[in-house]
């Protein structure tokens, strides 16, 4: 059975960092192969994981649509199909599997760019099925989402066992997290558990913030202390997955995951 973990939050709170630490923990403990899905159009999860990224699912989608348009223009027998009698689903399956960036005990798919002008409903439906089919072969799937959650059901049909909502230690961040959590009731997929993670704390959580957190309808999973080593890694471009196990960031995320898995 595949366990899906979705990481969400407003921009700049550390979603990608938490996603990378979750993937690092799952890989280091040998808990089964993990598929990382970078669902943020900026596509930089690969950098913190230390992987290259040749092309994204968005590139594949645009490439396929370009081939379809060429076929229509040529007026061939396919009339909107693909050369050689290849179905769109077969083409997407092959290309997406070829786009996988492979790490040790984890692989990465980057969704990349959003839709351009035109109708994308059919191709996005096929892509969702392809990505879900690939994910079913992994023990864990970790999805690093763009800000918000509205798009999640367009990315996957699978249930999400754990949604980790990341915030910075501010009232505005908590409000944004609460709004994101509320969206879980409106999606076409089932989200079994939602948790809050407060990132970049300096010392104890301030009392007003703690009181606000207690008012939420989803629990606080844990906090992450501000780690100066993160800035050093970011400055040099060194992958965050190479951080030492004693790092507050690494140990905090590991503890949180062990408590829910």
Closest Cα partner for 4 from 148, 193, 179, 187? Answer: 193
pLDDT of residue 57: 87
Q: Using one digit for the tens of pLDDT, what is the confidence trace for 99-133?
A: 999 998 999 999 886 655 555 566 777 888 898 99
The band of 150, judged by pLDDT with boundaries at 50, 70 and 90, is low
Indicate the pLDDT class of residue 41, thresholds 50, 70 and 90.
confident
Total domain count, the chain: 1
Whole-number pLDDT of residue 72: 58
- 154-213 confidence digits (pLDDT tens): 667 678 999 999 999 999 999 999 999 998 888 888 999 999 999 999 999 999 999 999
Average pLDDT (220-234) is: 93
238 vs 155: which has the higher pLDDT? 238
For range 28-57, the mean pLDDT: 89
H or E segment at 143?
strand 140-144
- Where b means 16+ CB within 10 Å and e means fewer, 38-70 reads bbbeebebbbbbbbebeebbbebbbebbebbee
Range of the domain at 248: 3-260
Q: Is the pLDDT of residue 220 over 80?
A: yes
pLDDT for 64 equals: 82
Pairing status of strand 106-110 against strand 101-102: antiparallel
CATH of residue 63: 3.40.50.300
Residue 250 has pLDDT above 70, yes or no: yes
pTM, to two decimals: 0.90
Q: What is the pLDDT of residue 79?
A: 46
Q: What is the pLDDT of residues 59-105, one digit of tens each?
A: 888 888 777 666 656 555 444 556 667 788 888 899 999 999 999 89
């Amino acid at each position: 059975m595949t366990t899906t973990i979705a990481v969400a939050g407003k921009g700049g709170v550390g979603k990608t960092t938490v996603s990378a630490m979750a993937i690092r923990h799952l890989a280091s403990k040998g808990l089964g192969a993990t598929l990382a899905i970078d669902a943020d159009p900026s596509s930089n999860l690969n950098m913190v994981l230390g992987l290259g990224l040749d092309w994204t699912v968005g590139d594949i989608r645009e490439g396929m649509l370009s081939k379809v348009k060429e076929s229509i223009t040529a007026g061939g027998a396919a009339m909107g199909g693909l050369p050689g009698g290849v179905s769109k689903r077969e083409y997407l399956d092959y290309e997406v599997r070829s786009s996988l960036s492979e790490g040790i005990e984890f692989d990465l798919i980057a969704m990349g760019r959003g839709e351009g002008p035109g109708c994308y409903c059919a191709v996005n439906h096929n892509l969702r099925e392809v990505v879900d089919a690939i994910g079913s072969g992994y023990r864990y799937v970790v999805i690093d989402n763009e800000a918000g959650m509205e798009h999640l059901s367009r990315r996957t049909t699978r249930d999400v066992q754990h949604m980790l909502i990341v915030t910075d230690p501010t009232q505005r961040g908590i409000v944004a997290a609460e709004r994101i959590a509320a969206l879980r009731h409106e999606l076409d997929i089932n989200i079994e558990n939602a948790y809050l993670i407060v990132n970049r704390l300096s010392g104890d959580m301030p009392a007003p913030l703690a009181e606000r957190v207690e008012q939420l309808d989803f629990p606080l999973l844990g906090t992450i202390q501000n780690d100066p080593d993160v800035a050093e890694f970011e400055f040099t471009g060194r992958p965050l997955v190479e951080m030492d196990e004693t790092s507050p960031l690494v140990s905090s995320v590991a503890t949180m995951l062990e408590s829910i898995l």
